[in-house]
Homo-oligomer: A and B are copies of this chain.
Amino acid sequence: MSTRKEREREAHRRDILDAAEKVFILRGFHKATVEQIAQEADFSVGTLYNFFKNKEELYIEVLEKITEEFRGDFERNVKGEPDAVRALENLIVLRVMHWDSHRGFFRIFLENAPGSQMDPVPAFPERVREMYRSYLVEVSKVFERGMGQHVFRQADPLYLTLCLEGITNASAAYWAQHGTNEPLEARIEKVRDAFFRWIEAVSPPAGVQESR
């Protein structure tokens, strides 16, 4: 059986992706060099090209890797949670923890969010955008569900989603600025707080209070 080899190959692949994530976070897509990533991964440049077609592909795969790690919890605790309010709470926990462990890599979604033309990493036209889009759609569905349950007042769910994104990201920036001395739980609490204050204003207070 060639399973040993396959497992080894898979491990190498993961090593490269981890190294790439590290360097991309540190230097950004354009300033990160393939050479640096190779060194970080303890492979030669050539080897990277045995695993990934090119730098862009590598970058996308990093995103997908991160998303994949995110998706599992997301499916279980957000999509799978029938109570909309609890689903959102879980989402916030997930999102903040995720930001924490990937040090802001998630921001990439914001930067490549539809509408940002700012510094588009060259032409991942669809794959990445699609990933984020589907994430937004899923969260939107949670809001829709909440409205269906009459827990929230009617509003454009995508709009709500984007605002949640905005608050989360702003909070993350806030911490990044003030250092990470605050413990994770406190930070999660803070975002949850901030967000639900906002959402309370949108939904009939009673409904929300009931669901908590």
Contacts and interface: CB of A to CB of B under 8 A. Distances in A.
A175 interface: yes
A25 to B, nearest CB: 6
Contact of A201 (B114, B116, B159, B198): B198
A104 B167 CA distance: 18
A116 B25 CA distance: 9
B119 A104 contact: no
A115 B173 CA distance: 5
B30 A119 contact: yes
Contact of A104 (B116, B176, B202): B116
A113 B168 CA distance: 14
Contacts of A168: 166
A158 interface: yes
A208 B118 CA distance: 36
Interface in A159-212: 159, 162-177, 190, 194, 197-198, 200-202
A25 B194 CA distance: 32
Contact of A197 (B108, B117, B202): B202
A170 B162 contact: yes
Interface of A: 25-31, 103-105, 107-108, 110-111, 113-122, 158-159, 162-177, 190, 194, 197-198, 200-202
15 contacts: A25-B117, A27-B120, A28-B119, A28-B120, A104-B117, A105-B118, A111-B111, A111-B118, A114-B173, A114-B176, A115-B172, A115-B174, A159-B171, A162-B173, A165-B170
